[in-house]
């Protein structure tokens, strides 16, 4: 990976690549070729000195084979299969002095660059950052940005883990986005995928043992984290992670599906990664963090390394989502079945204990699952709570959001349970105004065979659940992506405008009431009636009352002198016994005294 000099002025750079199985490696740079030499100090590495300037195209040939892009390429101007380009990170003049923003007291917002706006670019997304600052969001979580085939896709089939998808605007556009976000007080989180690459455009197997068939994942063979050659593979992934944080000013990383990072070494990859990220935070003098996606319900992920954990800073909490979703919708298929038998009881358990599956039997898995959280050691902010995500919307057959089937009142209930709850809240783009647009699964594979395989696989998957083939959107049809783009004009119309105002009000309360930032899960108190479908919880002096039924509910809050701070429908004060009558499909936030 070359390191260029001053803008527009070629300087001698060292090109280097790890190719331990090659007998000969050739650098192809701007039409010229030169043989590379083995590095005497690093086994398997090849180096060559050559003059290069920012934007110079280059690639490597192994044993007289085709010219391949650099595994550590900083830019792929012509896509994953094209030549790499030199990037001089020193060229960008940062406008904003940024001291960072950590996870405590955060409100995250998950955003897909390709559908957040119709234009589908980082610059167009940056033009909408003012909406998020006004909403009260603290961090924007970008879905993956690494290069992938075609123009549009979710980003989870990316390759070139050091580069930015060119149709989104490439490296400079990401820097502009981060700069503008920081200028408005917003941190930036990037979703990164370490558990698989490609398959299309993935040239890593030609360079070295990046993958192993010792384990298998839903995407095929696993990344080699513990076999022969895995030292360099781990260094590759960690180097990529640090580059996003250092070179682009990113504040945190969301790690995709860490349960598929198979590693039997004594020092687990995630522990090594968290150690390096904490070290970089000390070096840069600003907070950096890692958020895991995991279905393991294993508190060791977010337990500090000093206490025997892996030291990640937070994780998505799907148990909270599943309990909330079943309580709102009554759905019971798949993994929702574990929560649907008593959804309010499941919701109560997650709000007070973090995980629902803490060693309990999971009918979906056919075995016991999870492990209890130690509430004396794990702060609530280390778990992210949400009612919708790209996964939970986009992996439905038609990509339908909650707004497609729930009343605005129930959407308001979902919002208050998420935003006023103990976990770090995360929103999925558009939910704050009850967007009517779906968010569907779409791809733009340039390989016709792969495109057809994805299309058939999608239809076969949902046909098994009773869906007609014609009802499953074609991932390769450009209209599928177009349908998934947000309609920003909705914000000004009802009922969207009212929902948006509710989200703003709730987020402002979260920022303004210290009790709503209390990280102590053990201090949360809940009550509920499964049959009457009401739910209430207390956090310090704050009471939250939620009525999911269509009929009014008398909800005991044990707070006769509480005053109403916010309510979806008008409510009176609690009676002398502290009972509050809440209209059907509505909710309220109150404060004692």
pLDDT in tens, 81-105: 999 999 999 899 999 999 999 999 9
- Residue 394 assigned as binding residue: yes
Q: What is the pTM of this model?
A: 0.96
pLDDT at 263 over 60: yes
- Residue 39 assigned as binding residue: no
Burial of 124 (0-12, 13-18, 19+ CB in 10 A): middle
Name the residue among 278, 501, 293, 275 with its Cα closest to residue 384.
Answer: 293
- Residue 544 assigned as binding residue: no
Q: Is the peptide bond before 199 cis (omega within 30 degrees of 0)?
A: yes
- Residue 259 assigned as binding residue: yes
- Residue 255 assigned as binding residue: yes
- Residue 322 assigned as binding residue: yes
- Residue 391 assigned as binding residue: yes
Least confident of 306-320, 457-471, 474-488: 457-471
454 pLDDT band (50/70/90 cuts)?
Answer: confident
Phi, psi of 174 (to 5 degrees): -65, -40
108-199+226-509 has which fold?
TIM Barrel (3.20.20)
- Residue 185 assigned as binding residue: no
- Residue 112 assigned as binding residue: no
SS3 222: strand
pLDDT at 339 over 80: yes
Q: According to CATH, where is 2.60.40.1180 located in the chain?
A: 519-591
pLDDT at 117: 98
199 pLDDT band (50/70/90 cuts)?
Answer: confident
- Residue 393 assigned as binding residue: yes
Pairwise CA distance, residues 93 & 476, whole Å = 39
Name the residue among 238, 237, 250, 235 with its Cα closest to residue 287.
Answer: 250
- Residue 318 assigned as binding residue: yes
When the candidates are 2.40.50.100, 2.60.40.1180, 3.40.50.150, 3.90.1280.20, the CATH number that belongs to 519-591 is: 2.60.40.1180
CB-based contacts of 266, cutoff 8 Å, min separation 6: none
Least confident of 8-22, 307-321, 420-434, 464-478: 464-478
Helices (H), 156-313: 170-183, 204-207, 230-247, 269-284
- Residue 314 assigned as binding residue: no
- Residue 216 assigned as binding residue: no
CA 130 to chain centre: 21
Mind telling me the catalytic residues? Answer: 256, 293
Q: According to CATH, where is 3.20.20.80 located in the chain?
A: 108-199+226-509
- Residue 463 assigned as binding residue: no
Pairwise CA distance, residues 25 & 63, whole Å = 6
Task: Give tens-digit pLDDT for 109-160.
Answer: 999 999 999 999 999 999 999 999 999 999 999 999 999 999 999 999 999 9
**Structure tokens given for 458:** 């999608």
- Residue 195 assigned as binding residue: no
Task: Give tens-digit pLDDT for 248-260.
Answer: 999 999 999 999 9
Q: Is the peptide bond before 495 cis (omega within 30 degrees of 0)?
A: yes
Task: Give tens-digit pLDDT for 524-562.
Answer: 999 999 999 999 999 999 999 999 999 999 999 988 899
Give the pLDDT mean for 324-341: 96
């Amino acid at each position: 990976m070359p390191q260029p000099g001053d803008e527009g002025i070629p300087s001698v750079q060292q090109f280097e690549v790890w190719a331990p199985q090659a007998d000969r490696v050739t650098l192809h740079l701007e039409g010229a070729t030169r043989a590379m030499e083995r590095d005497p100090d690093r086994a398997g590495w090849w180096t060559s000195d050559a003059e290069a300037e920012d934007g110079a195209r280059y690639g490597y040939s192994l044993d007289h084979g085709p010219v391949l892009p650099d595994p550590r390429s900083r830019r792929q101007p012509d896509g994953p299969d094209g030549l790499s380009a030199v990037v001089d990170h020193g060229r960008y003049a940062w406008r904003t002095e940024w001291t960072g923003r950590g996870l405590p007291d955060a409100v995250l917002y998950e955003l897909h660059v390709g559908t957040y706006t119709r234009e589908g670019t980082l610059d167009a997304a940056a033009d909408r950052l003012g909406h998020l600052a006004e909403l009260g969001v603290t961090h924007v979580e970008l879905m993956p940005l690494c290069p992938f085939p075609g123009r549009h896709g979710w980003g989870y089939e990316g390759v070139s883990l050091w580069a930015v998808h060119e149709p989104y605007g490439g490296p400079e556009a990401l820097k502009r986005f981060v700069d503008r976000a920081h200028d408005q007080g917003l941190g930036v989180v990037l979703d990164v995928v370490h558990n698989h690459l490609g398959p299309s455009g993935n040239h890593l197997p030609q360079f070295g043992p990046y993958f192993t068939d010792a384990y298998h994942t839903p995407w095929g063979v696993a990344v080699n984290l513990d076999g022969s050659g895995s030292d360099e593979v781990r260094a590759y992934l960690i180097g990529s992670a640090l580059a996003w944080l250092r070179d682009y000013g990113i504040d945190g990383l969301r790690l995709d599906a860490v349960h598929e990072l198979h590693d039997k070494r004594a020092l687990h990859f995630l522990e090594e990664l968290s150690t390096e990220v904490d070290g970089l935070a000390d070096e840069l003098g600003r907070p950096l963090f890692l958020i895991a996606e995991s279905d393991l319900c294993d508190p060791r992920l977010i337990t500090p390394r000093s206490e025997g954990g892996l030291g990640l800073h937070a994780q998505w909490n799907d148990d909270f989502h599943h309990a909330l979703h079943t309580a709102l919708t009554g759905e019971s298929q798949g993994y929702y079945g574990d929560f649907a038998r008593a959804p309010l009881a499941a919701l109560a358990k997650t709000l007070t204990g973090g995980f629902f599956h803490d060693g309990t039997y999971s009918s979906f898995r056919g075995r016991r699952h999870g492990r209890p959280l130690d509430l004396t050691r794990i702060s609530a902010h280390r778990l992210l709570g949400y009612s919708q995500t790209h996964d939970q919307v986009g992996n439905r057959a038609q990509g339908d959001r909650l707004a497609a089937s729930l009343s605005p009142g129930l959407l308001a209930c979902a919002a208050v349970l998420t935003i006023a709850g103990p976990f770090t809240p995360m929103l999925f783009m558009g939910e704050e105004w009850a967007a009517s647009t779906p968010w569907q699964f779409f791809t733009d594979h340039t390989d016709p065979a792969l495109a057809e395989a994805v299309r058939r696989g999608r239809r076969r998957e949902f046909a098994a659940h009773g869906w007609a083939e014609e009802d499953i959107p074609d991932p390769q049809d450009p209209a599928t992506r177009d349908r998934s783009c947000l309609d920003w004009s909705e914000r000004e119309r009802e009922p969207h405008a009212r929902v948006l105002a509710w989200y703003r009000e709730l987020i402002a309360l979260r920022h303004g009431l210290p009790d709503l930032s209390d990280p102590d899960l053990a201090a949360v108190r809940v009550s509920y009636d499964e049959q009457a479908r009401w739910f209430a919880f207390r956090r310090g002096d704050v009471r939250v009352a939620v009525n999911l039924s269509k009929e009014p509910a008398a909800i005991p809050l044990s707070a006769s002198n509480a005053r109403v701070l916010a309510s979806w429908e008008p409510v009176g004060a609690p009676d002398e016994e502290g009972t509050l009558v809440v209209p059907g499909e509505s909710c309220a936030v109150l404060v004692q005294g």
